[in-house]
Structure 1
């Protein structure tokens, strides 16, 4: 069977946006306790993209910047780096250091960097970066969460929605190249969704994250649809219709198109109706994701149009 590439980045980005408070509560409880959630919080992702677009160290789509209010009445910025590729990066700690210092320089506020490592190397655990000479020292240490450290009981005995997301991430790694095992793991997670006590909207949201991460070969997709339908009938919870499931793919296209246009307009103010129309006609989701990365990095609208004409 053909292997389908999993979209970790989009799933994590969407999950952190939708369940930011639940993420901190489950993954960084001390941070969660120190925030005054009654005052709300503000996503600064567009500002983050603009600030780091010219960084030579690159950018992860799952990086997230959030403005929060502490119980001490202070304002702070929480910068979350999610390394979600199945490989280590030698410059990861340096990137943490660079982004933290750039953000402090721009906002003149406390910036707290948190790292989530979703790779499959148990021994790779970067948690600091610094240098010193002649009595000078510059140093950054950051909390690191290793997803591989979670035990199945930690993830199955909680109602926190982020446990489902982490489970999907880990199962995607474990079943890489094992289509039938991934099919069974994905069905188990969907069943767990319906037994969690979540309402219909939360089930639909979490199902979308599972779909992004646990991509199946086309040969197993129809079997998966039938099994989901059977589980819904068994549980008497018709939350996911065939139309809704197909709409997830359509929604991914529309959301990614909008993201490309939003980033370009944020950086260059206006891009013109013709370019927007061309972007909205693209049906290749993987190409759109590549264009989203380039929208952050290109030097001008004309450079982006030239890139678009190469496809």
Structure 2
């Protein structure tokens, strides 16, 4: 392999001594560029390696967190839709205000309990009671 200084010298010498067509000039330029890139090997220090590893780990953690957040958001959205559908089917237009209230609940487990309990509600007033319990956040009947 030609050392970098010698490589540079021969590259300049050939360029100076030979007049080539534009097509060949471009081809040689590409070949030289490829050869130059292949011989470049930058040294990575221990500190840089550690930094890269930590950066990769942090990036992975953040990516996983974001993915989980997005998944939870989609689940909450789906359960909100399920609640709205149950209310609409059971109580029609009068139930719309209940749907609006249910959309304010952001806890997935509470929303899931709400969905289950609303399926069994016999009247809009019973549904309102159930929703009030869920809005308090405990999902348990108050006495």
Q: Computing the radius of gyration over CA atoms, which structure comes out larger, 1 or 2?
A: 2
Q: TM-score, normalised by structure 2?
A: 0.46
More helix as a share of residues: 2
More strand as a share of residues: 1
